[in-house]
Amino acid sequence: MSIEKCSDIFGDITVYPPKNGKQRVEIYIRLQEKVEGMQTGIGIDGSASMRKIFGDTIPKFLRKPEDNVMQKVIRRLCSYACEYSGDGMVLPIYWATGAGGKEVETLGRLDTVAIESKNFEGPKKWGTGTALLPPLEYFLTELKDAPWLVLLFVTDGVIGDLEAVIQFSLKVGQEMLEGKRGKCKFILVGCGEEVDEEQIEKLDNMFDGTPLEGKIDLWDGKLASQMENLSEIWDEVDFGVEIPGSIRIIDDSNREVLSCLDGFPQRLEFSVTEGTKSVKIDIVGNTFEQILQ
């Protein structure tokens, strides 16, 4: 269960269902800096249903710049990703293109200067389906040497190969756990009225009830309509960095549930007694009360 945040310094806050009288709590601290070695990829849905917001349904000689709503969105997403990428670059692609929506069109690696001059007018071949596995495999092959990989996929429709994506993701998660693959985080952002919220939730919670539950958190699903700013994209991304300073968390019965005196992880995890209503978080000289119910 995601919880409303008491401060903008926090990303996603999740309180898990009770087990043996305890509840696991997970809190992400928002990060605003480049992450060494991290590579980023952004996949933009290139299926035919996206034509309208790219302005492609309007004849070119009548088309105005403002008709292409997606160009501004893509530029913002790519530039924002560059702020976190270790080398200041991003690899954008169109996915769900061509026959059956199973093809990928790459746009090459771009930095912030190239992004602003790049025209994002949609793919050469609009897709007739929405297949997520091909772009996932493409990125993991193209960026296979990245010690840290964050992939963002934007779609306006129903994923046609969800079960295949889940099976592939289970394999990726196991490889991460065994140290055979670098850290990965995949984010799916749904936009528009045709998005299947159940699919997004299923990806987000795909490891529940598996041996990887509580060990690997690979997918994060979001709805664009519920996002207030771009920083929310990273709200459930564990960048694996240590934040300097101290943190102490006590529950509403004044019991200490977490304490780090000399640096703390960006992703915090602790347990509270079932039914705990709130915790007090003392973090680097600031105190917040976070509701858990």
Question: Could you list the pLDDT tens digit for every one of the 293 residues in the chain?
Answer: 567 777 788 888 889 889 899 999 999 888 766 778 889 999 999 999 999 999 999 998 898 988 998 999 899 999 989 988 989 999 999 999 999 999 999 999 999 999 999 999 999 999 999 999 999 999 999 999 999 999 999 998 789 999 999 999 999 999 999 999 998 999 998 887 777 888 888 888 888 888 888 788 899 888 877 776 777 777 777 777 788 889 999 999 999 999 999 889 888 999 999 999 999 999 988 899 999 98
Instruction: Let me know: does 105 contact 255? Beta carbons within 8 Å.
Output: no
Same domain? For 194 and 167 the reply is: yes
Positive or negative CA dihedral for 171, 174, 175, 181?
positive
Same domain? For 177 and 247 the reply is: no
Q: Which two tokens stand for residue 125?
A: 């071949």
Cα Rg, the chain, nearest whole Å: 20
The count of domains in the chain is 2
Give a yes or no: residue 253 inside a domain. yes
Give a yes or no: residue 16 inside a domain. yes
Give a yes or no: residue 4 inside a domain. no
Give a yes or no: residue 265 inside a domain. yes
Positive or negative CA dihedral for 239, 241, 247, 251?
positive
Give a yes or no: residue 1 inside a domain. no
The model's pTM: 0.80
Residues of the domain holding 112: 38-234
* pLDDT at residue 134, as a whole number: 97
Give the domain CATH number at 174.
3.40.50.410
Instruction: Let me know: does 272 contact 22? Beta carbons within 8 Å.
Output: yes
* pLDDT at residue 2, as a whole number: 64
Domain boundary among 234, 253, 268: 234
Domain boundary among 219, 234, 249: 234
Instruction: Let me know: does 247 contact 224? Beta carbons within 8 Å.
Output: no
Instruction: Let me know: does 39 contact 143? Beta carbons within 8 Å.
Output: yes
* pLDDT at residue 205, as a whole number: 86
